[in-house]
Amino acid sequence: MLDDGKEPAYLLFICDIVSFKLINERYGPETGDMILKKFARGLKEIAGSSGTYGRFEADHFALCLPEKQASPDDVVRLINEKCVNTEMDFHFQPQFGICRIEDRSIPVQTLCDYASSALASIKGKYNSVYAWYDARLRKKIMDDQFLMEEVEKGIENHEFVFYLQPVYQASTKRLVSAEALVRWQHPARGLIFPGDFIPLMEKNGFVPKLDYYIWEAVCAYLAGRQKEKKRMVPVSVNMSRMDIHNPKLVDSIVSLVRKYGIDPEYIRFEVTESAYSEDANLLLDTIKALRREGFRVLMDDFGSGYSSLNVLKDMPVDILKIDREMVGNMEISDRGGCILGSVIRLARRLSINTIAEGVETQSQFEYLRGIGCDSIQGYFFSKPIPVAAFNGLLDTEDELKGKGSVLDSIDSQAPVRKGFLNILVVDDSSINRTILANMLQSDFNIMEADNGRKALEIMREPENRIALVLLDIVMPVMNGYDVLEEARNDPDLRQMPIVVLTGAETSENEIMALEYGATDYLKKPYNPSIMKIKIANIIKQSEMLKKQA
């Protein structure tokens, strides 16, 4: 008893052995039981005569000690010393939720719930060893409970809306698709973002209901655009891990698009990479079924966790969404940039398109465009915006397109001069083509194309007799990598020298170009003397190889 007459305070610890399931899988249940017994013996020793302990459930234990006996840091140290088996080659770490007991009238079960709530707040945060149940956490729990009581009513009252974040084609900066992102327009609290309610809905099983609600809202939106004969772009919607356990999932989606008269090409489904590790076979069956019905499937958040190449090998996805973490890492280290470039090259080889998420700066955009990333999503172009604002973007872009585009044209060619070899300059920038033509026209006939598709048409015409191609990588209609791949697979073009033009500071797109079969590369800004010598040598070597053949 304390001098002030108050009962001494106690600390209640709820302990969880992190990744205990993996221990059972790796070493077997007998080893798992041995670890649990050792843990219990250690807690008994720590509790001594003044505390108490017990197995709470599964791999969760409870320990109650007088506050004066040890600080949380001391208790954590003692548990690691006495309870953790250091002889195993598999390291495991306990985590703790702590509740301070002052009011003896509060039921034990309630106190355990408090400590368990503190423990739940650091689940998945492996650098956090313990957390307290305090006024802040109590308020959050009460707020969460209030929100959960409001969720079902919110769905019924159509309080949930979706914003659209535009996705732009890297080569043309043209708006080509969008992602639907849910928001809760709460009548009292205003706009609530998904991070504040999705985890709660996942915990309580409401996510599939919300997902279907958003899918239908997107279908209704697209049907409206279709009825008004306005331009439409595909919209991707999220599919949660819970959704794939619905045996009627694909049937309900097909019924939905038929109800609104929408072509499946306008609805895309994003599944997270983490769903692959949880139930790969079920996810594979779902993806195959969706694709059979004409839907395209995106693998979301690739690179956010421990990405496995098995995801790309086994899952027949159409589009790979590269996580913002991987995009950010490319500026932190050279290795990050190399890995990102390798992922994009691998995706291209597998005929999988790529979208980079979280792109925020000009340098990120230029780098991603340079290494062949197909599309860009992020604040560099636009944050998620209300549907009306998104429609404004679409309609404005449509008006500009109607005024004419350079994408459908090819520059007139300079007169062909006898005795001069023909060089084809392929670049969507008329300024860049003019610069190169001025450098080379004294020694060569210059032909021009502003996109890859037109370039291939010129290269395939026998009368053009192209001696060498100068090829830019970033272009609309067809980019340089696709030109290289198609040319190297065409017997008539396989031996044609193709020199890639690059302005990138890193070597990543040079590596990609050479892997795709480029003869060589030239870096901007160009030195006319070096360029002419390099071109002459490449053409000479090419002519020698033709004679030898």
Digit-coded pLDDT (tens) for 332-359:
666 777 788 888 888 888 889 999 999 9
Q: Is pLDDT above 60 for 527? A: yes
Whether 279 and 336 share a structural domain: yes
Q: Of all helices (H) and strands (E), which one includes residue 188?
A: none
* Cα–Cα distance for residue pair 322/374, rounded to 1 Å: 11
CA 32 to chain centre: 36
Q: Is pLDDT above 80 for 84? A: no
Instruction: Give the CATH number, domain containing residue 35.
Output: 3.30.70.270
- The reply to whether 5 falls in a domain is no
Closest to 247 in 3D by CA, of 286, 205, 214: 286
DSSP helix, strand, coil percent of the chain (3-state; round to 5): 50, 20, 30
Digit-coded pLDDT (tens) for 304-322:
655 567 777 778 899 999 9
Mean pLDDT confidence for 12-41: 79
Which contacts (CB < 8 Å, 24+ apart) does range 26-32 have? Answer: 26/90, 27/88, 27/90
pLDDT of amino acid 2: 39
Instruction: Give the CATH number, domain containing residue 261.
Output: 3.20.20.450
Mean pLDDT confidence for 202-223: 91
- The reply to whether 268 falls in a domain is yes
State both tokens at 300. 């979301």
Lowest mean pLDDT among 107-121, 225-239, 352-366: 107-121
Across the chain, mean pLDDT equals 83
pLDDT of amino acid 418: 57
| SS3 of residue 276 by DSSP | helix
pLDDT of amino acid 360: 92
What's the DSSP call for residue 16?
Answer: E
What's the DSSP call for residue 264?
Answer: G
Range from 159-173, 268-282, 504-518, 535-549 that averages highest in pLDDT = 159-173
Q: Of all helices (H) and strands (E), which one includes residue 326?
A: helix 324-332
Closest to 293 in 3D by CA, of 248, 318, 263: 263
Whether 470 and 380 share a structural domain: no
Mean pLDDT confidence for 9-30: 78
Whether 355 and 462 share a structural domain: no
| Confidence band of 139 (pLDDT split at 50, 70, 90) | confident
The last residue of one of the domains, among 374, 402, 430, is 402
Q: Which is more confidently placed, 92 or 287?
A: 287
Instruction: List all residues 6 or more positions away from 490 whose beta carbon is below 8 Å from its beta carbon.
Output: 460
Whether 55 and 162 share a structural domain: no
Mean pLDDT confidence for 64-79: 82
Q: Which is more confidently placed, 386 or 140?
A: 386
Mean pLDDT confidence for 153-170: 91
Closest to 427 in 3D by CA, of 353, 368, 479, 486: 479
pLDDT of amino acid 230: 94
pLDDT of amino acid 406: 33
Digit-coded pLDDT (tens) for 413-463:
445 555 678 999 999 888 888 888 888 888 889 999 988 889 999 999 888
Instruction: Give the CATH number, domain containing residue 514.
Output: 3.40.50.2300
CA 276 to chain centre: 14
Q: Which is more confidently placed, 399 or 493?
A: 493
- Residue 424, beta-bridge partner list: 447, 469
Whether 96 and 118 share a structural domain: yes
Q: Is pLDDT above 90 for 403? A: no
Whether 347 and 359 share a structural domain: yes
| Confidence band of 112 (pLDDT split at 50, 70, 90) | confident
* Cα–Cα distance for residue pair 443/436, rounded to 1 Å: 12
- Residue 448, beta-bridge partner list: 425
pLDDT of amino acid 549: 61
Whether 98 and 126 share a structural domain: yes
Q: Is the bond preceding residue 94 a cis peptide, omega within 30 degrees?
A: no
Percent pLDDT > 70 in the chain is 87
Q: Are 241 and 275 in contact (CB under 8 A)?
A: yes
CA dist 481 → 213, 223, 235, 260, 369 (Å): 41, 36, 27, 39, 12
Digit-coded pLDDT (tens) for 457-514:
999 988 888 999 999 988 877 888 889 988 988 888 988 999 998 776 667 777 888 8
Whether 288 and 393 share a structural domain: yes
| Confidence band of 408 (pLDDT split at 50, 70, 90) | very low
Instruction: List all residues 6 or more positions away from 397 whose beta carbon is below 8 Å from its beta carbon.
Output: 174, 175, 231
- The reply to whether 2 falls in a domain is no
| Confidence band of 10 (pLDDT split at 50, 70, 90) | confident
Whether 39 and 104 share a structural domain: yes
- The reply to whether 3 falls in a domain is no
- Domain range for 58: 10-133
| Confidence band of 534 (pLDDT split at 50, 70, 90) | confident
What's the DSSP call for residue 319?
Answer: E
- The reply to whether 375 falls in a domain is yes
Q: Are 393 and 382 in contact (CB under 8 A)?
A: yes
Whether 344 and 211 share a structural domain: yes
Q: Is pLDDT above 80 for 92? A: no
Q: Is pLDDT above 50 for 1? A: no
Q: How many CB atoms lie within 10 A of CB 86?
A: 7
* Cα–Cα distance for residue pair 383/378, rounded to 1 Å: 6
State both tokens at 537. 């040598």
CA 437 to chain centre: 41
Whether 327 and 387 share a structural domain: yes
Q: Residue 19, by phi and psi: left (phi above 0), alpha (psi -120 to 50) or beta?
A: left
pLDDT of amino acid 210: 92
| SS3 of residue 85 by DSSP | coil
State both tokens at 404. 């004419």
Q: How many CB atoms lie within 10 A of CB 333?
A: 10
Residue 385 — φ and ψ, nearest 5°? -130, 155
- The reply to whether 4 falls in a domain is no
Q: Please tell me the total count of domains within the chain.
A: 3
pLDDT of amino acid 3: 42
* Cα–Cα distance for residue pair 167/357, rounded to 1 Å: 9
Closest to 29 in 3D by CA, of 62, 50, 59: 59
Instruction: List all residues 6 or more positions away from 396 whose beta carbon is below 8 Å from its beta carbon.
Output: none
Q: Which is more confidently placed, 82 or 220?
A: 220
Whether 203 and 282 share a structural domain: yes
Q: Are 347 and 309 in contact (CB under 8 A)?
A: no
| Confidence band of 130 (pLDDT split at 50, 70, 90) | confident
pLDDT of amino acid 131: 82
Q: Is pLDDT above 80 for 146? A: no
- The reply to whether 270 falls in a domain is yes
pLDDT of amino acid 252: 96
Q: Are 182 and 160 in contact (CB under 8 A)?
A: yes
Torsion of CA 490, 495, 501, 505, to 10 degrees: 100
The last residue of one of the domains, among 379, 402, 425, is 402
- The reply to whether 530 falls in a domain is yes
CA dist 20 → 23, 78, 187, 472 (Å): 5, 20, 43, 54
Torsion of CA 492, 495, 504, 531, to 10 degrees: -120
Q: Is pLDDT above 70 for 271? A: yes
What's the DSSP call for residue 198?
Answer: H
The last residue of one of the domains, among 106, 133, 160, is 133
Closest to 185 in 3D by CA, of 363, 395, 386, 424: 386
